[in-house]
Amino acid sequence: MRTAKAPTIRRPRPANAGRFQPAPDVRDWIQEFIVSIAGCLHNPDHAHLQGADLEVIWAPEAFQKQGRTVIGTAEEVVFRAGGWQKARQEEQFYQWFGHIPTFLITLASDYCASCGDAEFCALVEHELYHVAQARDMFGGLAFKKDGSPKLEIRGHDVEEFVGVVRRYGVGDPNGAIARLAAAARGPAQVSRVSLEGACGICLLRAA
């Protein structure tokens, strides 16, 4: 019996220009391979991103923050300046994309140029999980007046870790996600009774 071959994916790669550059090929690749239901990497967790006003940019290199190397970010585009500063920032976006996007994902060129395909996909999906569909006052999914999903930036949560680990594994065996998975497999160090006395809110959220 012949085993089917894994699909060939033309992974976008950064141009080695040493500066910030728009990455429309990554944006299109995300929509074609991950968001689209026909994509070979389709993840239904990102269905709300179909047609989202989301752009991608290459950063020249990673940077350090609080002792960790940052290789990707997701953000809502917000200008925290006025006058000429705001005008300069807006003009930069128009030069890059022809408009000011609602959301922006930034990827480190040095990391993405050398990492494997699985690591690249895991990084991209990690950032996509941060662009989540908002919730309404009743806890249901929120939509805009035109019927499209209302999106927001969301911090790290259990769903993001579960989604990435389910598709790509825990990655670095000494990394934070691997340690989280190992802790979940081991016995609880604090009993449920003790936890109830220490933090009732945690148990309410897990109920």
pLDDT tens per residue across span 145-204: 999 999 998 876 555 566 666 776 766 677 666 766 676 667 654 444 433 333 332 333
CB neighbourhood size of 136 (10 A): 10
Domain ranges of the chain: 21-169
Q: Give the H or E element holding residue 176.
A: helix 176-185
- Give percent of the chain with pLDDT exceeding 70: 73
Which residues contact residue 20 at a Cβ distance below 8 angstroms, ignoring those fewer than 6 apart? 57, 58, 59, 60
4-18, 64-78, 185-199: the lowest-pLDDT one:
185-199
- pLDDT value, residue 50: 94
- pLDDT value, residue 188: 55
- Give percent of the chain with pLDDT exceeding 90: 43
Given a cut of 80, whether residue 49 has pLDDT beyond it is yes
| Residue with token string 């000429």 | 84
Residue 14 near residue 109 (C-beta atoms within 8 A): yes
- pLDDT value, residue 187: 67
- pLDDT value, residue 122: 86
pLDDT tens per residue across span 103-150: 999 999 999 999 888 888 888 988 998 899 898 888 899 999 999 999
- pLDDT value, residue 179: 67
pTM: 0.75
pLDDT band at 83, cuts 50/70/90?
very high
Return the HEC string of 133-162: ECECCCCCECECCCCCECEEECCCCHHHHH
How many angstroms separate the CA atoms of 12 and 199, rounded? Answer: 45
pLDDT band at 48, cuts 50/70/90?
very high
- pLDDT value, residue 161: 61
What integer best gives the mean pLDDT of the chain? 80
